[in-house]
Amino acid sequence: MGKIFSVEFMLEIIPDILKGIPYTISIAVVAFFVGISIGFFGAIIKIYKIPVLKKIVGVYVSFVRGTPLLVQILLIYYGIPILLRIINQQFGTTFDVSKIPAMVFMFAAFSISAGAYLTESIRAALLAVDKGQMEAAYSVGMNTFQGMTRIVIPQAIKVGIPVFANFFIGLLKDTSLAFAASVPEIMGRAKIEAGRASRFFEAYIAAALIYWGICILFERLVVVLERKVRKNEGGVEK
Amino acid sequence: MIELKGIHKSFKNLEVLKGVDLTVQEGQTVALIGASGSGKSTLLRCINLLETPDKGKIVIGNYSFDADNMKAAVKREARKRTAMVFQNFGLFENKTALENVTEALIVVKKMAKADAEEVGKQYLEKVGLLGKKDHYPNALSGGQKQRVAIARALALEPKIVLFDEPTSALDPELVQEVLGVIKNISKERVTMLIVTHEMDFAFDVADQVAFMDNGTILEVNTPKELFAHPKNKRTRQFINRYTQRFSYTI
């Protein structure tokens, strides 16, 4: 064995690990935005207590929050092909599972997971807006949609930004689980490199630094965003 | 003219309004007084349908509707004809003072933005706050917030402006500035129904005072008559308690 810690090896593999960034980012971004959409409908259903749908959302949120993300990823990864086989048998169609890229499964799995968590976050953000705001909107003649989009949601976003940012950071790092479905994202590439040279620690340090770097950039972005959304706290429109 | 006929409203098992009749003539200011829990605020909220009455009929100008027929469209029509000033101001926190006034003009009345801003500035001027037009609510004092809320209500040119204890959430020093504004607009013959605990103000400003107790209106009269010669026993009790407050010997 050579050195205890090889900086050279670490630097050498970083370019290869960086190639995993597009996978990591795209899974996180797609899951976040699809999750926000699912979460918004989930939150509205819960707040307005819409019958039947309310039960379905309840079970969905409970299941996703009650099972590990890794298990959900594997369930989707192995479950969707089985589902497609059943559909093919039943309806005589010929969908070819092998032609669907693994990334599509990952988008689905991470979105479903994000949607459940965001249902609760968005519900909390919407409920944090004073009830009087919607009443005031009604009192000047607005309908529910106008009151929601023009008055309540903008204020809920302001309340929710720190929570959503936190969630997105978590999501970015959770994408490392996508390697279980052989997606060559950051962690997957680090593992491959580590195994190739039997230098595990160097590879994982490299991966850690890359994740950290992405998250620092993102945190900067959130600070700017938050300053923009909180402009009314300065008191006067510039 | 606003007319309420036999308004009933219950929350679960609690009957809050037990058949209220009330008429507010065009251009009049009517003060609604009574003990807390007598149903004054609920009555107000039934007029612009923030609460849906269980029974009864409401006439607002040439628009009338029945509690049995409470479609969303009816609620919207009713709300377009009324405006409300809330105890806790209810200003849109994400909008500036001017935007608070123009928002509904643009979104509900479909006014062009430039026109709405003209109207908005005019009404802010009227409540003495044109200088604060670009301030967000959290940069305004309670009294200023309430004056913006009054400007927002007036700008809609409603058939009636409903005031729900407009000064209850203000510290004593700010009460007068808001009451002053309300007094001024009452001189312009804006139709108003004001729930208030400020008896001096009711006496001063109202054309009619209605006394409400336990879900019904017991007595309606001119302030002079009602405060000097209350006919109903319960009204007398209530008025006496208020006048006593000011006759302590120190």
Q: What is the C-alpha to C-alpha distance for residues A77 and A71, in angstroms, rounded to an integer?
A: 10
Query: Residue type for B201, please?
Result: F
Q: What is the C-alpha to C-alpha distance for residues A116 and A56, in angstroms, rounded to an integer?
A: 12
Residue B61, pLDDT > 70, answer yes
pLDDT value at position A151? 96
Q: Would you call B104 and A133 a contact, using CB atoms and an 8 Å cutoff?
A: no
In the DSSP assignment, the letter for residue A234 is G
List the domain boundaries for chain A. Answer: 1-20+184-238, 22-183
Q: What is the C-alpha to C-alpha distance for residues B195 and B200, in angstroms, rounded to an integer?
A: 13
Across A153-157, average pLDDT:
93
pLDDT value at position B250? 55
Sign of CA dihedral B190, B191, B194, B200: positive
Superfamily for the A22-183 domain: MetI-like (1.10.3720.10)
CB within 8 Å of B90: residues ≥ 6 apart: A132, A133, A135, A136, A139, B84, B149
Q: What is the C-alpha to C-alpha distance for residues B81 and B62, in angstroms, rounded to an integer?
A: 10
pLDDT value at position B1? 86
Read off the tokens for A200.
Answer: 């595990």
Looking at chain B, which residue has its C-alpha nearest residue A154? B94
Chain B residues within 8 A of A154 when measuring between CB atoms: 94
pLDDT value at position A230? 77
Q: What is the C-alpha to C-alpha distance for residues A226 and A232, in angstroms, rounded to an integer?
A: 11
Q: What is the C-alpha to C-alpha distance for residues A139 and B50, in angstroms, rounded to an integer?
A: 7
Read off the tokens for B74.
Answer: 């009816």
Residue A7, pLDDT > 90, answer no
Query: Residue type for B26, please?
Result: E
List the single residue in A133, A139, A237 with the smallest CB-CB distance to B84.
A139
Least confident range from A96-100, A124-128, B76-80, B145-149: namely A96-100
List the single residue in B50, B107, B134 with the smallest CB-CB distance to A142.
B107
Chain B residues within 8 A of A151 when measuring between CB atoms: 92, 94-95
CA B35 to chain centre: 17
Our CA angle for A17, A21, A25, nearest 5°, is 155
Chain A residues within 8 A of B93 when measuring between CB atoms: 130, 133, 155, 232
List the single residue in B93, B136, B138 with the smallest CB-CB distance to A133.
B93
ipTM above 0.95, yes or no: no
Chain A residues within 8 A of B82 when measuring between CB atoms: 139
Q: How does pLDDT run across B189-246, given as a tens digit for each residue? A: 899 999 998 888 899 899 999 999 999 999 999 999 998 888 989 999 888 887 766 5
Query: Residue type for B129, please?
Result: L
List the single residue in A132, A158, A233 with the smallest CB-CB distance to B86.
A132
